[in-house]
Amino acid sequence: MGLRPVGIDTMDWPALQAAVAGCEACSLCRSRKNTVFGVGDTQADWMVIGEAPGENEDLQGEPFVGAAGQLLDNMLRAVGRSRSGSGEQGAYIANVLKCRPPANRNPQPQEVAQCEPYLARQVALVQPKVIIAMGRFAVQSLLQTSEPIGRLRGQVHRYQGVPVIVTYHPAYLLRTPGDKGKAWADLCLAMETVAAE
């Protein structure tokens, strides 16, 4: 493995994307097919953060594709946003980890520690008005907690000073459609939070 590049916290978008594309700072670089940097409007006021690329994301190099990605797109559409929209109609979408863990295993703490500066820089560059953290792993990584999602929902947390709303991962909602109403309530809280900011 190689070292993570220095100066991530001052990189612009092209430099950051190139740094991720060439990153060999953890063992996930050996098994990835593509790095998955992020997608959407870099000036959107919503930022969606998930866990890590799965098989389809690894193949396509884009976060939240496949059935879970379609559900996310539908959720965003319900609040007047899309990954291809901009500003108040847009959303920037990224994961905590930029490379797929083999067989979709849980990310390891050292992998998160190595990758986190890339996400931190993405948040600093986007400067969103709200972050939607999706799924247990993304939530617990961002908020540095081991509390379950059920205890963290319904409150406004902070990451780098940006309001964070906690909700379920779309893949979970596909398996547990009875919780879609809770996810809708979380999106409503995100809208209220942006309006209040």
- Of 91 and 115, nearer to ligand SF4 (C-beta) is 115
Among 47, 68, 75, 115, binds ligand SF4 (CB under 6 A): 115
Taking CB under 6 A as the rule, does residue 121 contact ligand SF4? no
From the list 145, 129, 126, 125, the residue with the least C-alpha distance to 137 is: 145
Token digits of residue 164: 């964070």
Rounded distance between C-alpha atoms, residue 156 and residue 193, angstroms: 8
Among 49, 111, 126, 134, binds ligand SF4 (CB under 6 A): 111
Phi/psi of residue 69, nearest 5 degrees: -65, -40
Taking CB under 6 A as the rule, does residue 156 contact ligand SF4? no
- Of 16 and 189, nearer to ligand SF4 (C-beta) is 16
- Amino acid identity for residue 87 in this structure: G
Rounded distance between C-alpha atoms, residue 21 and residue 91, angstroms: 22
- Of 102 and 154, nearer to ligand SF4 (C-beta) is 102
The helix-helix angle for 180-196 and 66-78 (nearest 10°) equals 50
Residues 20-79 that bind ligand SF4 (CB under 6 A): 20, 23-26, 28-29, 35
Taking CB under 6 A as the rule, does residue 130 contact ligand SF4? no
**Shortest gap between Cβ of 25 and ligand SF4 (angstroms)?**
4
